[in-house]
Amino acid sequence: MSLLDVQNLVVEFPGRKGTLRALDDVSFSIAPGEILGVVGESGAGKSLTGASIIGLLEPPGRIASGQILLNGERIDNLPNQKMRHIRGRRIGAIFQDPLTSLNPLYTVGRQLIETITTHLPLNAAQARDRAISLLKDTGIPAAEQRIDHYPHQFSGGMRQRVVIALALAAEPELIVADEPTTALDVSIQAQIITLLKNICRSRGAAVMLITHDMGVIAETCDRVAVMYAGRIAEIGPVHEVINHPAHPYTAGLMASIPDMQEERERLNQIDGAMPRLNAIPKGCAFNPRCQYAFDRCRVERPDLLPAGATQAACWLREDAAVAAGAIA
């Protein structure tokens, strides 16, 4: 049984000039202990999907249709008060910039203890012991002393470790990590990814890892969902999607990664840009940028189609097109 089920999720933003559809029929699931990567360019809908799951959609954004289930229980239609009990307790969140996640006026210990006592039946002394243990688990040295320090007294990597400790404080079933390493340098990034992976594996928590970095996806995730213009373009096991991309957009993302074994004057790139919400093309949203696009792509939008071990929203995946050699 899946821990998280997102079914046909549609998120809209009503405006004076009409309603903009930011997420359109997004469906996926995450099993307990699994790490699902969500990747795509800026504006693809990755962070909005995470915010919808956590219940942090900014008005006037709204879930127009579809549903989100956590362990079989629907959570997208819960009132704010009930959702607050789920957030932190059953769903943890790690955001991109730890400086915006931590209150600069309070010590990290106070923030950890408040989170723990809010969600777990522990007194202040027990919560402090648990907070110190969490800081140790996330690699904070001298945790007994550092617990009384303020966020500005920590480096960027250490602050992100504190944010991970906050996310794990109430033993959540699911962690939504929204680009948790983007603000960090490469060496610290690798440490944080390894830490997140090891902790979640040992605790059995499922993780939705949102990133734009296919290298992070390859190192961390079990499966990956590639998003484009508010929809899932391809989803499947990481090694299959990376080594045998079934959607031209995924192939373009992979081709744009520099090859360390080959010298090149120019990097590959995908021509064009992500469409604005008020100008999403008819048919497949990727068709203006796709070198394989044909007439059907411009008028009819594909659903996810079987493509070996993965699924891809691309008409080229139909048997006739594959047999004709339209795409490898």
- pLDDT per residue over 35-50, tens digit each? 999 999 999 999 999 9
What SS3 state is found at 237? strand
Q: Could you tell me what percent of the chain has a pLDDT over 90?
A: 69
Q: How many secondary structure helices (H) and strands (E) does the chain include?
A: 12, 12
pLDDT of 155 > 70? The answer is yes
pLDDT of 325 > 70? The answer is no
For residue 311, what pLDDT is reported?
95
What SS3 state is found at 201? helix
pLDDT of 254 > 70? The answer is yes
Average pLDDT score over residue span 150-161: 91
Average pLDDT score over residue span 257-275: 80
For residue 321, what pLDDT is reported?
45
301's tokens: 């939008």
For residue 186, what pLDDT is reported?
78
For residue 66, what pLDDT is reported?
97
Integer Rg of the chain from CA: 21
- pLDDT per residue over 89-114, tens digit each? 999 999 887 888 899 999 999 999 99
Give the residue extent of every domain in the chain: 30-56+73-260+267-279
* Torsion-angle region of 325 (φ positive above 0: left; ψ -120 to 50: alpha; else: beta): left
Architecture of domain 30-56+73-260+267-279: 3-Layer(aba) Sandwich (3.40)
- pLDDT per residue over 198-226, tens digit each? 877 888 889 999 998 888 888 889 999 99
- pLDDT per residue over 267-320, tens digit each? 788 889 999 999 999 999 999 999 999 999 999 999 999 998 999 999 998 754
For residue 230, what pLDDT is reported?
96
Model confidence band, residue 191 (pLDDT cutoffs 50, 70, 90):
confident
User: For residues 326 and 328, what is the distance between their CA atoms, to the nearest angstrom?
Assistant: 7
For residue 275, what pLDDT is reported?
94
* Torsion-angle region of 150 (φ positive above 0: left; ψ -120 to 50: alpha; else: beta): beta
pLDDT of 126 > 70? The answer is yes
Residue pair 320/294 in contact (Cβ under 8 Å)? The answer is no
What pTM did the predictor assign?
0.90
In one letter, which amino acid is 87?
Answer: R
